[in-house]
Amino acid sequence: MPRTRFEEQLKLLHTTLIQLGALCEDAINAAAKALLTGDQALVKKAMEAEQEIDRLESEIEALCFKLLLHQQPVASDLREISAALKMISDLERIGDQAADIAELTEHINIPLDSTNLHIADMTKAVIKMVTESIDAFVRKDIDLARKVMADDDVVDTLFDQIKGELETMVKSDAASISGALDLLMVVKYLERIGDHATNVAEWVEYSITGVHPEGN
Amino acid sequence: MPRTRFEEQLKLLHTTLIQLGALCEDAINAAAKALLTGDQALVKKAMEAEQEIDRLESEIEALCFKLLLHQQPVASDLREISAALKMISDLERIGDQAADIAELTEHINIPLDSTNLHIADMTKAVIKMVTESIDAFVRKDIDLARKVMADDDVVDTLFDQIKGELETMVKSDAASISGALDLLMVVKYLERIGDHATNVAEWVEYSITGVHPEGN
């Protein structure tokens, strides 16, 4: 295959990765809105997005293996493809976690708009991380990648804060324990989505510099 | 490189994967014992195992890329290497989750031997899944791989059971909420370890049959 064919396939890899990232955002958005509104149509939407994410992950993986086997790329081309293989595994798990959140919303019996829980803030923060991590890859923007890594601290702080809010809620009403445990799972999934977006950002840095920030 | 060099490298891949699997078992064992006994030396042991797991994951990944690029394997050889790349990502996350459990044990203020929580049972069940999933890969044993997939239901049932036990605990003593939330995280990590062992088993089935049981 000529070099141009390689470049064409790399471009296809980029556009498919952007699609995959957009689907992850859709899945988290749908799951979060389902949680806040109880709208079951949104639960279904998150589940469908998750299936589409799995399909696209397989498609990108096959494309990466094709590029590796037929082009035997070296240096930055090899790094870009190996980084893409890692990133899709994180994006796939983001889809799983959005579906897990959507599934939990069917059981949660606490009207969230009547609480002071900071779940909407946390959702907004993780969606931003996911969007920016993909943007950083496509634009090869190392500063944006590092911003995503730094933002993970904000998400972790929100997790601790909401955990504290749930404790207070249960202490004043022990009967709310069942909903509190489910909500803790929801915020744990959101926190994990933040971790996966951080992983994506770290692979972006690796694909640009050749050095993984965590030494992996 | 002659074919025998390829076979040598495949053998190295197997032995390193077995090492990685054994380290995952060590990490879970140390974390679980730290949880049950409060022994801080075991927390340290789990953390060290996690770091060694990350190192081995990188080593195996480099070996897989070397095999892909220099040997351009096809058919079952290609499947075996692509399955290994997936499996190490699951094993690495098992190490992370064991370290997460170990970290939580430093905060948990509930003497677990005085409760009726089924955490020790769940730990035993997930360690068995991890061991058997690696055995299935090395021995190319599809029946054992399918047994691991089936055992995940047992782990999921234990998760629901312990969640119910935690609810009962908090309803009779609202002050136990903080420990209950941490313990829910612990059993969630154990449940995720079961999911990752299931993923490994599914990749074993794929590498043997060419068909992923979940259609991935």
Q: State residue B216's pLDDT score.
A: 61
Nearest-CA neighbor of B205 among B133, B127, B125? B133
Residue range A120-129: mean pLDDT, rounded: 93
| Closest listed residue to residue A150, CA positions, set A166, A170, A128 | A128
pLDDT computed for residue A114 by the predictor: 64
- A67 CB contacts (<8 Å, ≥6 apart)? A6, A9, A10, A13, A73, A81
B-chain residues near A86 (CB < 8 A)? 89
Q: Which residues of B touch A89 (CB under 8 A)?
A: 86, 89
Residues in chain A: 216
Question: Average of pLDDT values for A132-161?
Answer: 95
pLDDT > 90: what percent of chain B?
Answer: 77
Residue A216: pLDDT above 80? no
Residue A185 has pLDDT above 80, yes or no: yes
pLDDT value, residue B113:
67
pLDDT interval class at A3 (50, 70, 90): low
Lowest mean pLDDT among A147-156, A175-184, B149-158: A175-184
Closest Cβ–Cβ partner in A85, A178, A184 for B181: A184
CATH topology of domain A3-209: Methane Monooxygenase Hydroxylase; Chain G, domain 1 (1.20.58)
Residue A52: closest CA among chain B residues belongs to which residue?
B216
Indicate whether A116 pLDDT > 90. no
Chain A contacts of B54, Cβ < 8 Å? 216
Q: Give the whole-angstrom CA distance, residue B212 versus residue A214.
A: 32
49-68 of A, contacting B, C-beta below 8 A: 54, 57-58, 65, 68
- pLDDT of res. B93: 95
Residue B120 has a CB neighbour count (10 Å cut-off) of 14
Does residue A75 belong to the interface with chain B, where contact is any CB pair within 8 Å? no
Residue pLDDT, tens place only, A68-80 = 988 888 888 899 9
Q: Is A208 within 8 Å of A141 (Cβ atoms)?
A: no
Nearest to B60 by CA among B2, B3, B19, B6: B19
pLDDT on residue B162? 95
Which residues of chain B fall below pLDDT 70?
1-3, 113-114, 216
Half-sphere exposure of B33 (CA within 13 A, CB side): 15
- Residue A48: pLDDT band (50, 70, 90) is very high
Provide mean pLDDT across the span A84-89: 94
Q: 């890329």: which residue's tokens? A: B65
The Cα B196–Cα B134 span in angstroms is 12
* Domain regions of chain A by residue span: 3-209
Confidence category of residue A6, pLDDT binned at 50, 70, 90: confident
- Under an 8 A CB cutoff, do B216 and A175 touch? no
Confidence band, pLDDT 50/70/90 cuts, at residue A84: very high
Tell me if A181 sits within 8 A of B163, measured CB to CB. yes
